[in-house]
Structure 1
Amino acid sequence: MNRKRLVLFGVALGLILVGGVVGWWGHTDGGDLTIRETQIETDGGTIDAYLYVPPGVTPDDPAPGVLATHGYINSKETQAPFAIELARRGHVVLAIDQTGHGYSDPPAFSQGWGGPPALAYLADHELVDEDRIALEGHSMGGWASVAAAATYPDRYESMVLAGSSTGSSGAPPGNATFPRNLGVVYAEYDEFHWLMWETETAPAAPESEKLQSVFGTDERIETGRTYGDIESGTARALYQPGTTHPGTHHSPTAVGQVVEWIERTTGGDTSLDPDDQIWHWKELGTAVALLGGFLFLFPTIGTLSEAGALSAATRSVPEPVAERDRGWLVSVALTALLPVVTYYPLMLLAGQVMPLTPVTPQNETNSIVLWILGNAAIIAVLFGVWHVRSDRTFAAARDRYGLDAGDGAGTLGRSVAIAGGTALALLALLFAFDAVFGLDFRVWVLGLKLPSALHVRIAAGYFPAFLAFFFALELLLHGRLRTPAATDSLPRAIAGNVGLLAGPFVGFLAVQYGWLFATGALPVPITALQAIIAFQFVGVLVGVGAVSTYSFHRTGRVWVGAVLNALFVTWLVVASQATHVPL
């Protein structure tokens, strides 16, 4: 193994180790909090959860309880900021995977989004004071909280809706007395203002007639003011932190407001100031570990591509076929623009043309699949036109495209082994990270989780679509767009391809959110979910561009990059999405 590769292995593993230690310290408050993996058995399947237990809590000395529920296409890990800070202040916190999310059994949306059975479990837990229970839910998790409160109206004392509402998408409606002691933490730039509190813009929430009816007033609501009375259960308060919908569960201001309201209404330990927060260390740790896991891929690819019989799948990088002429510039522009231009139309169309089935059971994955297949088709057509116009026979050109198969099945099999071995190495590393630190690789809304057996089964159905797309992308990047400069310099090639893939989405999000911050609403409000998903694509496309380019330069062919990216992205997407069909 060469020195540079050994150093990169050391850096990657060092980042993972440091990230794990820092993340564990933040997640457990330096080891003071006990975090137990918990399964709640229901008639509709198993709900997976974390139970955060503060020090000194026993059956003889129970503590106030909080049910914390994440939003759509998230998992219990995104509730960590709330869970950590509430547990530090003496609350036993049950953070669940909603039904059909994370490791909870599908289908999504069933059993009141998982809220009612989770509340019943928490209220009956021996470590919880059943007379002092609060509910906290972000986005769709707020609907789970409202459903739980409606099902068990005498088993909770208060509620916080973070970026959420009553009476939306089948959640029970609210009024001046239901839910009990309601705090609403609603971001000033929440993308779902039209769905939650039915306003034209997010900053207009205090003027929402729907929200006013819940507060028992017909006047503009004053943020920070307490309406009603805690003792009678009619207390109400609205907070508007200066963030967005997904930013609500990563905002120190929003976390402090949630903590303050729950402590006020359940009589929790108020010795810590709401601004005294450590959850960000957990987030920093998992982000550093994610970076380490990403870097780990490169020396692994390099090592496997030179290992024994697998080395026969590699060759030198072929001569480029592209020059930086006008046609190349047009191809670059189309590569940058078409994914962004087709993003909203194809993502929204998927709900109309791709049914939920046992093979395609995830609604948002279906949307991503339709989008990538549409782009794969466009790439194939444009690549074909360029190939014909370049006056080359395929037999003469395929070697320079990186499409040759060497000795046939042997080369293809070795390429798949390199890609599969790299993916398995990362999976093993994540398994060890979870076993030692109880964490995954994660930054904000982008997380790489260990796949469950069900995730693997679902991924098998989606994998061919992702493979088709990444095969087309490999041809585009390394066949049509690879210039002599990109062939001679690996760093330049990686930087160029990463910028080409991720850069347009950075610009796309800048336009979307610049509009939101300027006007209080996205340009097309109904695309709020797709806009939020696009944040994940920035990180994914950075990884895809780097891995694809490195694999091509190490093997001289497109096969390893196509298979590895298809494996990696299918794993990441499927494990992070909601499953809507009972399986």
Structure 2
Amino acid sequence: MGMVLVLGGSALAWKVQTAGGIRVTEVTFAGTGGTPMSGLLYTPPNATAATPSPGVLAVHGYINSRETQSGFAIEFARRGYVVLALDQTGHGYSGGPAFSNGFGGPDGLKYLRSLPTVDPANIGLEGHSMGGWTVLAAAATMPDAYRSVVLEGSSTGKPFAADGSPVWPRNLALVFSQYDEFSKLMWGVDRAKDVTGSAKLQAVFGATGPVQPGKVYGSVADGTARMLQTPATTHPGDHISPAAIGHALDWFALTLKGGTPRPASDQIWMWKEAGTGIALIGTVVLLLGTFQALLTLKLFAPLRQAIQPTASARDGRWWRGVALSALLPAVTFFPLFILGMVALPANGLLKQAITNQVLTWAVVTASLTLGLAALGKGARPGFSNRWPLSLLIGLISVGVVYGTLELVHRLFLVDFRFWVVALKRLSPAQAGLVLVYVLPLTLAFGVTLRTLLARIPVAGESNLARYGSAVLALSGGFALLLALDYGALFLTGRLPTAFDPLSTVVAIQFLPLTALMAVIGVFTWKRTGGYAVATVICGLLLTWYMVAGTATQVV
């Protein structure tokens, strides 16, 4: 069943991204100083050497990758544009450290212009968040090499882009969502809804008062056109917002010549998102199914042991255990992420800043959990752990998933993802980093799983209750944290954790990830009576997930 979901969802995603004869290929090229650069190239059937078409450089934001831009890329290509969805330096499969070489933007624009299928007089630049700074670096380096720009949730000016003005960059559209978490960083306003009154934005638009959304300022012919659009979504929500994508389509339709006109409302990218989302769910089914099948083999027979739940009822002690398991990781998340940023920056061994923050949070929280457990009293759980066999079955189970991802990449050129939650192939450099991070992260996850399975399962309970309780215990704190955070944002326009908006966005991913840990933990415990298999699987899977999905700052 898992393989059916993986292959069926991936085939659907491939069908959508190649609709109408669009050809999607993986491209690599040498950037500045020989830095290897990577991207996905979308070529519509109308684009040939004899009939070159407009080109669009589309770039993702920080700690994302080229596939995050697929909604934009699919729709640009359906309108007859050749699209290069670029991996920034230090991201995805591009080399170099993150932030280097103008984030890779100038190299991406140079490569796009070199293609015989692209009309160099009609180039559009589109970037989300830090991807906006990437395309602005390209515009600053090659000021006559593009025709118009769309910044999605991004800005001109410091810290990483040149200052904007009424004449630079050329023909600029800003799509800045009403609930963007980065409004202070980007445009100097506490609430994204107040961006129209940003002095910085007014200077770029040449306006003497609040900028009016939907109004064209300046002149397309003179290259001074400006427009602001404010869809009702969040910063990461731009990726899956028909409105945010539609505004980019309208701007390029206005400012680029050529292509195949379509109304902005004609969008199909969401079916690609559905396909890779189905494949992502199928990955979990495949993982657990592989483990179940392996467990029937004689080699792994010693792992099959009866379970011994510690709790006999959902009494006050049980609920206190659930509350502690749920709240501790959520309460420590922001303080420890900030600690990790300050105390464990990227270095020659631990080369990824965000993964270092995750590592700090996971290890310190695990230490606190052990300390609290030592102070408590109660029945000692009876676990059956056979670590060598658990390591072997875990390696094989995760290996089957990775092999399937490699197969899907070769067949359909997609990964397993929904929105910003993605399981990607590892580059050789990233595979090396997995070996560095996997042991401490696995040990930390092991503490979490042991604590969960010692506290939560109740004797005689149903499967639904058992899985539901485990998910509540691991994910409930993040669900509450995000509900309070985004509830306040949607009601007041102010994000309570605006002091660290990046970690706020990162926290979204931990809601499904902690739920996945709970499911894997209960599923394997029910069949082995221990937490060792779950520890190995979660350690491998989540380390792979984090290393492949974030940025590398040191090479």
TM-score normalised according to structure 1 size? 0.93
- Which shows bigger deviation, 319-328 or 511-520? 319-328
1:503 is matched with 476
The Cα offsets for residues 60-114 of structure 1, whole Å up to 9 and x where unpaired, read as 2111111000000110001111111111111101110000001111300000111
For 1:191, the equivalent position in structure 2 comes to 181
Aligned to 2:455: 480
Whole-Å separation in 2 of the counterparts to 1:121 and 1:271: 25
What is the identity, as a one-letter code, of the residue corresponding to 2:437?
Y
Tell me the secondary structure at the aligned position of residue 170 of structure 1.
coil
Counterpart Cα distance in 1 of 2:294 and 2:431: 24
Gaps of 5+ in 1: 1-10, 406-410
Pairing of 1:159-178 with structure 2 (within 5 A): 159-178=149-168
Quick one: which amino acid aligns to residue 382 of structure 2? Y
Mean CA deviation greater in 94-103 or 265-274: 265-274
Between the aligned residues of both structures, percent identity stands at 39
* AA matched with 1:41: A
Residue 483 of structure 1 deviates from its aligned partner by 2.3
- CA deviations over 1:540-582 (Å, ceiling 9, x no partner): 1111100011111111111101111000000001100000001
Could you tell me which residue of structure 2 aligns to residue 408 of structure 1? Answer: none
Q: How much has 1:319 moved relative to structure 2?
A: 4.7
The amino acid across from 2:508 in the alignment is F
Q: Name which of 421, 426, 439 aligns with 1:464.
A: 439
Aligned to 1:566: 539
SS in 2 for 1:55: coil
User: 2:353, 2:551 within 8 Å by CA — same for their partners in 1?
Assistant: yes
Deviations 1:160-218 (A, max 9, x none): 00100001322111111000000101101111000001112100111111011000112
Tell me the amino acid that sits aligned with residue 520 of structure 1.
G
| Residue among 12, 16, 26 paired with 1:37 | 26
Aligned residue among 487, 505, 511 for 1:538: 511
- Which whole-Å CA distance do the structure 2 matches of 1:445 and 1:50 have between them? 18
What SS does the corresponding residue of 1:131 show, helix, strand or coil? Answer: strand
Counterparts of 2:6 and 2:486 in 1: how far apart (Å)? Answer: 32
Asked if structure 2 preserves the Cα contact closer than 8 Å seen for 1:143 and 1:168, the reply is no
Contact 2:23/2:43 (<8 A) preserved: yes
- 2:301 matched to 1:320? no
Aligned to 1:4: none
Mean CA deviation greater in 371-380 or 177-186: 371-380
Q: Where do 1:288-437 residues align within 5 Å? A: 288-320=278-310, 323-386=313-376, 389-390=377-378, 397=380, 400-402=381-383, 404-405=384-385, 411-437=386-412
1:385, CA displacement in angstroms?
2.1
* Cα separation, partners in 2 of 1:540 and 1:503, compared to 1, 3 Å: same
Amino acid at match of 2:441: F
Pick the aligned partner of 1:131 from 96, 105, 121. Answer: 121
Q: Is the 8 A contact 1:44 1:111 kept in 2?
A: no
Query: Is 2:2–2:289's contact at 8 Å kept on the other side of the alignment?
Result: no
Number of corresponding residues: 554
- The one-letter amino acid of 1:537's match is F
Alignment check: 8 A CA contact 2:325 2:452 kept: no
Question: Among residues 285, 304, 309, which one is paired with 2:275 in the alignment?
Answer: 285
SS of residue in 2 equivalent to 1:38: strand
- State the alpha-carbon separation in 1 of the partners of residues 459 and 439 from structure 2: 32
Matches of 2:312 and 2:451, distance apart in 1? 11
| Structure 2 SS opposite 1:311 | helix
CA contact (8 A) 2:46 2:53 kept: no
Instruction: Write out the 4+ residue segments of structure 1 that deviate beyond 6 Å after TM superposition.
Output: none
Whole-Å separation in 1 of the counterparts to 2:370 and 2:87: 40
Is 1:143 aligned to residue 118 of structure 2? no
CA contact (8 A) 1:304 1:311 kept: no
Amino acid aligned to 2:483: A
Please give the alpha-carbon distance, in whole angstroms, between the structure 1 residues aligned to 2:314 and 2:364. Answer: 27
Query: CA offset at residue 507 of structure 1?
Result: 1.8
Contact kept, 8 Å, 1:65 with 1:133, in 2: the verdict is: yes
TM-score in terms of structure 2 length: 0.97
Deviations 1:313-361 (A, max 9, x none): 3311135256533333222211111111111111111111113212211
TM-align CA RMSD: 1.4
Partner of 2:413: 438
- Whether the 8 Å contact between 2:452 and 2:473 is mirrored in structure 1 is no
Q: Is the 8 Å Cα contact of residues 46 and 80 (structure 2) preserved in structure 1?
A: no
Residues 515 and 521, structure 1, Cα contact 8 Å, conserved in 2: yes
Question: What residue number does 1:216 align with?
Answer: 206
Asked whether the 8 Å contact 1:505–1:538 carries over to 2, the reply is: yes
Distance (whole Å) between structure 2 residues aligned to residue 163 and residue 550 of structure 1: 40
